[in-house]
Amino acid sequence: MSYADNCKVLFTKEQLEQRIKEVAKQIENDYKGEKVTFIGVLNGVYAFFADLVRNVDMPCHVDFLRASSYSGTTSTGNVKMSLDIKTEIEGRHVIIVEDILDTGRTLAKIRDELLSRNALSVKTAVMLDKPSRRVNDFQADYKCFEIDDLFVVGFGLDYDEKYRNLPYVAIYDEN
Ligand code: XMP
Ligand code: MG
């Protein structure tokens, strides 16, 4: 018995750990000899972020920001940054790390904002990608898994702030 018995496992802890290690190696190979600033998008990213950066064997700097999208009743998808990074990123290689890429609005907005601060490069790494939901042409540079249009929880992701602590990704089912 678990408080999350209504959630159906989609990716186990082992599958996530294995895939995150592979993506970390990809990043290591792409940035040989460089220093990278990893910027996590709170709150959902915390579990993926910790696992990803701990598997990257190279010098790095970490920082976090918070972004929320206000869709209102007409779903304008207006994204606002409500907590900014403290790091001066001009001239630095940046990788934005996000839990899940959905419509693409959040990451597109954050990427443009960081590029406007003259980062040397800005790439993105996501744990999950729902390509069928995209409203723009945004593509993640690094991703662990693509999923269908399902609402998922766990490994940082929440439903109403619940289930973030599940050690796996699961499909949320109200019933
Ligand atoms: P975009 O801007 O790409 O937004 O539409 C990405 C943000 O939407 C949230 N999101 C989810 N959160 N389960 C969640 O817990 C999901 O299946 C899901 N799909 C999207 C999430 O906050 C992400 O940062
Ligand atoms: Mg998020």
CB atoms within 10 A of CB 111: 18
What share of the chain has pLDDT > 70, as a percent?
96
pLDDT digit string, tens, across residues 44-57: 999 999 999 999 99
Q: What is the DSSP string of 28-89?
A: HHHTTT--EEEEEEETTTHHHHHHHHHT--S-EEEEEEEEEEE-TTTT--EEEEEE---S--
Q: Are 61 and 87 in contact (CB under 8 A)?
A: yes
Which of 65, 148, 157, 161 best tests ligand 1's pocket when mutated (most atoms within 8 Å of CB)? 157
In the predicted structure, residue 72 carries a pLDDT above the cut 60: no
CB 152 within 8 A of CB 100: yes
pLDDT band at 174 (very low <50, low <70, confident <90, very high): confident
d(CA 175, CA 143): 30
pTM of the model: 0.95
The pLDDT of residue 14: 98
Whether pLDDT at 75 is above 80: no
- 98-131 pLDDT, tens digit per residue, is 999 999 999 999 999 999 999 999 999 999 999 9
Q: What is the dihedral of CA 104, 100, 122, 70, to 10 degrees?
A: 50
Which protein residues touch ligand 1 with a CB less than 6 Å away?
A: 44, 69, 98-106, 151-153, 157-158
Q: Which member of 102, 112, 141, 148 is catalytic?
A: 102
| CB of 44 closer than 8 Å to CB of 157 | yes
Nearest CA to ligand 1 atom 8: 102
Percent of the chain topping pLDDT 90: 86
Q: Which ligand is nearest to the CA of 107?
A: 1
Closest ligand to C-alpha of residue 128 is 1
C-alpha to C-alpha distances, 115 to 63, 107, 111, 169, nearest whole angstrom? 16, 12, 6, 31
Mean pLDDT, rounded, for 6-14: 96
In the structure, what pLDDT confidence band is assigned to residue 36 with cuts at 50, 70 and 90? very high
Q: Best substitution site from 69, 100, 165 to test ligand 1's pocket, by max atoms within 8 Å of Cβ? A: 100
Q: Across the chain, which distance is largest between two alpha carbons, in Å?
A: 51
Mean pLDDT value of segment 136-152: 97
Residues with CB under 5 A from ligand 2 (ion): 44, 99
Among the bound ligands, name the one nearest to the CA of residue 161. 1
Q: Is 173 a catalytic residue?
A: no
- What is the average per-residue pLDDT within 27-39? 96
Asked if the bond preceding 43 is cis, omega within 30° of 0, the reply is yes
